[in-house]
Amino acid sequence: MQHGSSPSANSQCLWRMAGGIIIFMSTSRALHGVIGAGGFAHGPIWTLPIAGGASAEHPSPRLDTAQADALAALAQARAQLEALAAGRRGAGDELAAEIFASQALMAADPTLIAAVQGAAEAGRTAVEALYFAGEEQAAIFAAIPDEYLAARAADVRDVAGRAVRIITGATTPLPTAPSILVADDLPPSIGAEIPRELLLGIALRGGSRTAHAVILARAAGIPCIVATAGLAIDGSLDGTPAALDGASGTLHLSPNATTIERLRAEAGEAQASATRRAGLRGAPCVLKSGERVHLLANIGSADDAVRAVAVGAEGVGLLRTEFLLLERSTPPSEAEQVTAFRAIFAALGAERPLTLRLADIGGDKEVPYLRIPHEANPFLGVRGYRLAMLSGRADLRALFASQISAGLLAAAAAKARLRVMAPMVAVRAEVDDLLALVATVRADLAQRGAAGDAAAAAAATYALHLGVMIEVPAAALTVATLARGLDFVSIGTNDLTQYVMAADRVNPALAPLQDATAPGVVALLKAIVAGAAEAGVEVGVCGELAGSAVGAKLLTDLGIRELSMDPAVIDEVREALIGA
């Protein structure tokens, strides 16, 4: 869909006489964005008031108590978010409960607290300290090329904004009538506090389809679009009649009756399709040949695991463990990681496997406290598993070891299925090092077990399926030897395409080259499948190619029988593959 605005095909019109000449004027406009959640909404526009930020009024802007006031507000924000999570959990809404529980943890994060303290010590008021600290931490997330992780910036701003409202006494703004909300972005907890009957739809100028506010809208059946070009958020659209078409990512301003009826009919058809697809949840995905295809989910938190189970995912093919490393000033402890992994296992259940991807950081994914040197070309730099082998950096190797040990401890406690894979592997030496690291971790757990740690003793021998991601052409061409001793390989089609096509995947000018169906990429996919068969290991895909009907059919035609994708597209892919 082209972004921007265009006249509607069924525009309302005005006729104006000018020197005896009749002029045809269009008063209807269509603004185009990115699909966040399907559906149709018709009603007036209501603009979410822009928060005051650092200039918000403070009833008593005392500098001598700024730090104490700000930290007290953060603590109160945490309590509110915990109560919000408990309320949603009590109502059976596990997805929202997990999102607000994760925000509560953000409010207590040492990095955010330290940033607030630093801002206050620099002479800022409590409101200013919260605002600047929130923006500083949000910027770290927003700079990450990974869309899912970048979308967490909204959560940080939401937490800081809640603390600001506590200090200023501001309340959550509400529309006075059922409306289509317009904003630059929507803080998840603000969206949750607006009564459902007042929120017909959501159109955001910014935002991301993986943002928590959008995920909640999708779960609630509220149509939503993001990245809407040309959308005014200054209040000038308030009261304007509008029709929101979530299925096409379009906001129609001042539509006529014909347009509204057409969109309503199309939305009805789309809803019928969604209901039909949802009816297939739980049914095995079997091809025309009789072969079974396993559909798994890519996730980044426990709330994502809840979404995955809800749409019938058979497990998790990719857990982005980076969510545990960001928004901190020190690496997470083993105990913290065990807690996080156990929460995900609890959501998945013992029968669904969890594939834990070791930290895919370095270069473009900056984690300041790890002191990874800046590189001119980060995509070809020291990233992924290469960090575990970096000379003189025992701390980085210990980080990767702690992820493996935490995974084993959590899986053993939950009696769940665990898979671990290393990213950015290119040569056999890296695989040998991974096998040695796992052996070292098991030996350490066994030693702790011998000293009386029953949990460590159980984890030391617990079953673990080990694999690597195939994202580098060198690895793709040598899978037969590279994968010996492993249990599986998982193809990361996003990076693989980038390296095959020599096209930076975050450079919009090269977007046409980011085509995972290009002949050169497909040739390597065939080589990977053949190499995996020769090595006797399973092969799956966790890149974006798996998340479209066309891509999924291409991959299954190549012989790949495990596909992992965003939970939001599993229904569509399942329907496309059954009987294909």
Residues 6+ apart with CB under 8 A from 191: 181, 199, 202, 213, 216, 217
| pLDDT recorded at residue 363 | 54
Mean predicted confidence (pLDDT) in 378-388: 87
- What's residue 61's pLDDT? 59
Range of lowest pLDDT (67-81, 377-391, 518-532): 377-391
Given a contact cutoff of 8 angstroms between Cβ atoms, the answer to whether 247 and 271 are in contact is: no
3-state secondary structure (DSSP) of residue 413: helix
pLDDT at 143 over 90: no
* Predicted local confidence at residue 218, as pLDDT: 85
Looking at the DSSP assignment, which residues form a beta bridge with residue 420? Answer: 356, 466
Residue 128 has pLDDT above 70, yes or no: yes
Strands 354-357 and 538-541, sheet pairing: unpaired
Supply the DSSP symbol for 51.
Answer: P
pLDDT, averaged across the chain: 89
The answer to whether the beta carbons of residues 372 and 364 sit under 8 Å apart is no
Residues 392-401 as b or e (16 or more Cβ within 10 Å = b) = ebeebbebbb
pTM, full prediction: 0.77
Render pLDDT for 231-275 as a digit per residue (tens, 0 to 9). Answer: 999 999 999 999 999 989 999 999 999 999 999 999 889 889 989
What distance in Å separates the CA atoms of residue 112 and residue 543, rounded to the nearest whole number?
32
Residue count of the chain: 580
Query: Backbone dihedral region of 31: left (phi > 0), alpha (psi from -120 to 50 degrees) or beta?
Result: beta
How many Å apart are CA 417 and CA 291, to the nearest integer? 23
How far apart CA 289 and CA 57 sit, in angstroms, is 67
- Mean pLDDT computed over 384-407: 96
Q: What is the pLDDT of residues 89-122, one digit of tens each?
A: 888 888 888 889 889 989 998 889 999 999 999 9
Structure-model confidence comparison of residues 426 and 102, the more confident one: 426
Domains of the chain: 4-49+173-277 (3.50.30.10), 53-168 (1.10.274.10), 279-577 (3.20.20.60)
Between residues 54 and 268, the one the model is more confident about: 268
Average pLDDT over residues 500-528: 88
Nearest to 238 by CA among 253, 256, 258: 253
Of residues 18 and 436, more confidently modeled: 436
pLDDT for res 409: 98
Q: How many CB atoms lie within 10 A of CB 140?
A: 20
Cβ contact 228:245 at 8 Å: no
| Confidence class for position 51, pLDDT limits 50, 70, 90 | low
User: What's the average model confidence in pLDDT over 391-410?
Assistant: 97
Collapsing DSSP to helix, strand or coil, 198 comes out as helix
Q: How many CB atoms lie within 10 A of CB 371?
A: 9
Tell me which residue has tokens 């001598």.
Answer: 64
477 has a pLDDT exceeding 50? yes
Q: Which of 204, 198, 202, 190 is nearest to 233 (CA)?
A: 204
Q: Which residues form the catalytic set?
A: 212, 542
Structural contact between residues 120 and 233, judged by C-beta atoms closer than 8 angstroms: no
Please tell me the predicted confidence (pLDDT) of residue 27: 63
Q: How many Å apart are CA 306 and CA 567, to the nearest integer? A: 10
Highest mean pLDDT among 45-49, 190-194, 218-222: 45-49
Residue 320 pLDDT more than 90? yes
What is the Cβ-side half-sphere exposure of residue 549, based on CA atoms within 13 angstroms?
A: 9
Given this model, what pLDDT does residue 504 score? 80
Q: What is the pLDDT of residue 141?
A: 85
Q: Which of residues 220 and 573 earns the better pLDDT score?
A: 573
Encode 465-495: b = buried (16+ Cβ within 10 Å), e = exposed: bbbbbbbbbebbebbbebbeebebbbbbbbb
* 115-119, 123-127, 452-456, range with greatest mean pLDDT: 452-456
Cα(116)–Cα(136) distance, integer angstroms: 10
Spatial contact of 174 and 49, defined as CB atoms under 8 Å apart? no
**Three-class SS of 430-478:** HHHHHHHHHHHHHHHHHHHHHCCCHHHHHHHCCCCEEEEEECCHHHHCC
Query: In this predicted structure, what is the pLDDT of residue 379?
Result: 75
